[in-house]
Structure 1
Amino acid sequence: MIPRHAASDLAHRLGEHAEAVCRHYLSNGRRQGNYWTVGDVRNAPGRSMFVRLQPSPKGPPGKWTDAATGEHGDLLDVIRESLGLVNFRDVADEARGFLAMPDAMPPRPAEPITQVPIGSPESARRLVAMSKHIIGTLVETYLRGRSITTLHGTAALQFHPHCYYRPDDHGPTKTLPAMIAAVTDLDGHLTGAHRTWLAPDGTGKALVDTPRRAMGDLLGHAVRFGVPGNVMAAGEGIETTLSLRCALPDMAMAAALSAAHLAAILFPPNLRRLYVIRDNDPAGDGARDGLLERATDAGIEAIVLSPQTEDFNEDLRHFGLAAFRASIADQLMRKDRIRYLTQAAA
């Protein structure tokens, strides 16, 4: 019989190489953040089982739970169940054999690189740092193809020529060109990033299942254009917000990236009037109502700007800039029409 302390030591040593163990014995899964996800401990395809890959307050690496069945255990259990072993001595021998394999651990890089969790704010900061400004890139081609031509003051947008894309269906990871948008807090500190993967020629989004994804800390924060004074506009999507900016290029604006995040966006301390950029759908109505209530409670005048079609980008593309600007003028406060539309026309 294998002593309990020997089994515990084996499980601990396997946990030090948790991802390598998962790649070997749970090959139908994939890494998601700090976890390896797979269908079950017997290596079925799916996502209900989570294996912890890094130490955390919840426990050591290698511990796993199957949300569908309630099963849980360590990496010795993974070896036993995935291989159909019965005798624990065979499990221990297999574990020792794996730990002795030259490729049990991935090779170390020549230069030490600090690993950060996938999808974390630090991972977002690294992605933004590796990107470059959009002028002269596929991002500019993409935006101009959507009639968005007011591109000054868009430092929040970047271009990455080879951004990793991990499919939802467990397919192989690929690299695609992408528009990277920096998400910041009210003090300008980067908290996250948003990726829009693009077609190779920039004429549209990439032909993948989810061409838009966000990462990092998003709640309350936004992709920001311009420095907010006492007036600003806020919307859900980047392209919707940039479309309004074509009509009102001197008004500060923020894209919250989703209806839920728009409803929760934080207000600058000097804000007195907020224009809420509404998308013409039920989610947009919910975001509008939530944001109006919060703004009113904070003593901020809130005014809804509504599109004639589904959203402002569709308005801009369908009607043209002059007609789009005229439709916006009718919805602005008179003082803001004079302040922002006169400047835009100059």
Structure 2
Amino acid sequence: MAVYSVGEIAEKINAQAREIAPDLLPNGRFSPCRTKWMFSGIPDTGKSESAWVHLSGAKIGKWFDMGNAAPGEDKGDILDLLQLKLGLADKRAAIEEAKQRLGLVDDWKPGKPAKLPPEELQRRADEARARAEAREAEAEKERAAKARGAKALYLRGDPIVGSWAERYLMGRGIEAGAKWPGVLRFHSEVYLREEGCKVPAMLAAVYRADGVQIGTHRTFLANEGGRIVKARVDRPKRVLGSVWGGFIPISKGSSGKSMRDMPEGEPVYVTEGIEDALVVRMMMPGARIVAAYSLGNVGAIVLPAAARRLVIVCDRDSNAKAQEQLERSIAQQQARGLDVQLVMPPDEWGGVPIKDINDWWLALKAQGERARQSGDTRGVA
């Protein structure tokens, strides 16, 4: 008698991700190292690459959509992908489809659960555990290799003073004060796949709270008539390495101590992007500030036990997916015992729509400049 559990079927069909993902999502492509299938979400329009399916490692078969996915279409496994792309009625239909693709025939009947002998259950559990351990070992090797490559790129960078990176930040109204954070670097030749060549980029190291560098953030840059701006590509900001749960340390605060040795109860300010974190640094030079590089990652950061309060400096984003990510991140940090507070810019300032704290800072500067030119400096810092 052959009976397969849902978990076993899911594991087997997920292992076929390399063949199934291109079949279901023909407008996608392999990532450069062929470890992911990049696609534009369930509609599969081919117009972006906001989503990907893992094709190897511990997450094989799992997929995520970081774009504006519809509810229920932002993550899942190959079973979910079969259900969504083939228009199947429910998960049971997806399981049957998976069994057909795998060539599995069992004796399972609805409403008549079959019981396997205890020794067979134990054997299957042992095999599943061994496969999981092997995948995790492979994933750990992959993470270590990515971290080494990311760190090597970062170390080849130079201080940003006088570089395109400094000009880019100053063009966003950001000033360094005494000096720029040491975590920021510049490299004039970083490979950009869309262009098929190397272009300038601002680099930032991504760390865990224990001080281990796990990745490198890249902001690709371009010169447009003498102005240094983000490169006009689909994703001008990207991370290299296995960086989930990491952060970019922008300011150690008044204590000057690393995150690992931070003072007891010191608040930690976190922003989504580097530019916002630098604006907060100008406004609050004595604060401890980190950039999470994505809204979803805010909840994944694990702070030291000394941390008590996390202040999330949010973008003003009415998108339902962004709201869900923010709520999830807040819940994750509250579950760790942190007091979570939110700071959000106004939706407009002086008639100018405001998206994030950097936009607000630029609007304030423009207002101040207009006031100085008119001679009315009341309320201008």
Q: Equivalents in 2 of 1:186, 1:153: separation in Å?
A: 21
CA drift of 1:268 comes to 2.3
Q: Equivalents in 2 of 1:322, 1:252: separation in Å?
A: 28
317 and 163 in structure 1: CA distance in 2 versus 1, 3 angstrom threshold = same
Q: Which runs of 5+ in 2 are unaligned?
A: 1-28, 40-45, 61-81, 86-97, 102-141, 253-261, 347-353, 369-380
Q: Letter of the aligned partner of 1:145 in structure 2?
A: G
**Greater shift in the superposed pair: 301-310 or 117-126:** 117-126
Q: Equivalents in 2 of 1:131, 1:255: separation in Å?
A: 19
1:278 to 303, 314, 331: 314
Q: Letter of the aligned partner of 1:265 in structure 2?
A: I
* SS class of match (2:149): helix
Q: Equivalents in 2 of 1:264, 1:235: separation in Å?
A: 13
Q: Equivalents in 2 of 1:269, 1:153: separation in Å?
A: 28
For residues 64-106 of structure 1, the C-alpha deviation after alignment (integer angstroms, 9 at most, x for no partner) is: xxx99x9x9xxxxxxxxxxxxxxxxxxxxxxxxxxxxxxxxxx
2:358 to 313, 333, 337: 313
CA drift of 1:210 comes to 2.0
Q: Say whether 1:135 aligns with 2:161.
A: yes
Q: Equivalents in 2 of 1:202, 1:223: separation in Å?
A: 25
CA drift of 1:270 comes to 0.7
Alignment of 1:28-107 (within 5 A): 32-34=32-34
CA drift of 1:209 comes to 2.5
CA drift of 1:127 comes to 0.8
Q: Letter of the aligned partner of 1:318 in structure 2?
A: A
Tell me the residue number matched to 1:204.
229
- Contact residue 184 and residue 192 of structure 1 kept, 8 A: yes
CA drift of 1:202 comes to 5.2
Tell me the residue number matched to 2:276.
240
Tell me the residue number matched to 1:224.
249
Give every structure 1 segment of 4 or more consecutive aligned residues whose post-TM-superposition deviation is greater than 6 Å. 36-39, 116-119
Q: Say whether 1:158 aligns with 2:196.
A: no
* SS class of match (1:254): strand
190 and 322 in structure 1: CA distance in 2 versus 1, 3 angstrom threshold = farther
CA drift of 1:150 comes to 2.8
Q: Letter of the aligned partner of 1:261 in structure 2?
A: N
For residues 271-295 of structure 1, the C-alpha deviation after alignment (integer angstroms, 9 at most, x for no partner) is: 1221111111145433432333233
CA drift of 1:203 comes to 2.0
37 and 222 in structure 1: CA distance in 2 versus 1, 3 angstrom threshold = closer
- Contact residue 119 and residue 215 of structure 1 kept, 8 A: no
* SS class of match (2:229): coil
TM-score by length of 1: 0.58
Tell me the residue number matched to 1:290.
328
TM-score by length of 2: 0.53
Q: Equivalents in 2 of 1:202, 1:318: separation in Å?
A: 19
Aligned sequence identity (%): 27
183 and 310 in structure 1: CA distance in 2 versus 1, 3 angstrom threshold = same
Tell me the residue number matched to 1:191.
214
Q: Number of residues paired by the alignment? A: 239
Q: Letter of the aligned partner of 2:356 in structure 1?
A: D
300 and 55 in structure 1: CA distance in 2 versus 1, 3 angstrom threshold = closer
1:181 to 179, 183, 204: 204
Tell me the residue number matched to 2:337.
299
CA drift of 1:187 comes to 1.6
Q: Equivalents in 1 of 2:366, 2:332: separation in Å?
A: 32
Q: Equivalents in 1 of 2:296, 2:176: separation in Å?
A: 27
CA drift of 1:207 comes to 2.2
Q: Equivalents in 2 of 1:55, 1:272: separation in Å?
A: 35
For residues 110-161 of structure 1, the C-alpha deviation after alignment (integer angstroms, 9 at most, x for no partner) is: xxxxxx9999222111110111111111101000110110363511111010
Q: Say whether 1:214 aligns with 2:239.
A: yes
Q: Equivalents in 2 of 1:236, 1:222: separation in Å?
A: 10
* SS class of match (2:228): coil
- Contact residue 296 and residue 326 of structure 2 kept, 8 A: no
CA drift of 1:250 comes to 1.9
Q: Equivalents in 2 of 1:149, 1:205: separation in Å?
A: 18
Q: Which runs of 5+ in 1 are unaligned?
A: 1-28, 40-45, 59-66, 73-115, 324-344
Q: Letter of the aligned partner of 1:180 in structure 2?
A: L
For residues 238-296 of structure 1, the C-alpha deviation after alignment (integer angstroms, 9 at most, x for no partner) is: 11121111101221111111111112221222112211111111454334323332333
Q: What root-mean-square deviation, in Å, do the aligned CA atoms of Structure 1 and Structure 2 show?
A: 4.2
Q: Equivalents in 2 of 1:177, 1:158: separation in Å?
A: 11
2:171 to 140, 145, 150: 145
Tell me the residue number matched to 2:5.
none
- Contact residue 278 and residue 311 of structure 1 kept, 8 A: yes
